[in-house]
């Protein structure tokens, strides 16, 4: 199977940015519709996926928390929809006044998906040590927390160590 354009762009960017990550990212599986990733040393309850369709330009990058066979929450959700114009590519999801023109889809993906993903890893994932799982009725949510600064008024139903 040949790699798609988004797969090539993400794999190349991960290799380029490897020394900028506080937590290493590993590509676990490539399919025609997705790229599944894990984080080195992090609980398998936390994973990441890039979903896309070659025909439709919409791309999503999600970090999720699964616990005991159920998806509890998306803790990061980034998306973009590249549209070609005469002078380059814009994201159709951005408000027209905020649309920046990029020379390629790869540049747009870096700006809207890859770099914010790196920032989230360094600022949120690497700084946390607990996965807080919250349940209220049939609703669930998850949050990455620091055990030393966990809010007393918002205690998780379950605390799972983030690091293996």
pLDDT digits (tens, 9 = 90+) for 56-110: 789 999 999 999 999 999 999 999 999 999 999 999 999 999 999 999 999 999 9
Which pLDDT tens digit goes with each residue over 111-150?
999 999 999 999 999 999 999 999 998 899 999 999 988 8
What is the predicted pLDDT for the residue at 152? 83
Tell me the whole-structure pTM to 2 decimals. 0.95
Q: What is the pLDDT of residue 157?
A: 93
**pLDDT tens track for 26-66:** 999 999 899 999 999 999 999 999 999 877 789 999 999 99
- The torsion of the CA quartet 22, 23, 29, 31, rounded to 10 degrees, works out to -40
Domain range annotation of the chain: 5-128
């Amino acid at each position: 199977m040949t790699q798609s354009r988004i797969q090539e762009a993400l794999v190349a960017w991960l290799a380029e940015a490897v020394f900028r990550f506080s937590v290493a990212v590993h590509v676990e599986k490539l399919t025609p519709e997705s790229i599944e990733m894990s984080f080195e040393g992090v609980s398998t309850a936390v994973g990441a996926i890039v979903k896309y369709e070659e025909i439709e330009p919409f791309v999503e990058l999600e970090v999720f928390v699964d616990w005991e066979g159920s998806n509890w929450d998306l803790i990061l959700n980034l998306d973009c929809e590249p549209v070609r114009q005469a002078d380059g590519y814009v994201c159709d999801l951005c408000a027209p006044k905020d649309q920046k023109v990029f020379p390629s889809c790869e540049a747009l993906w870096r700006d809207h998906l890859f770099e914010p993903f790196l920032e989230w890893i360094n600022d949120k994932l690497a700084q946390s040590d607990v996965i807080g799982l919250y349940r209220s009725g049939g609703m669930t949510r998850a949050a990455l927390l620091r055990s030393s600064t966990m809010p007393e008024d918002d205690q998780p139903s379950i605390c799972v160590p983030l690091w293996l």
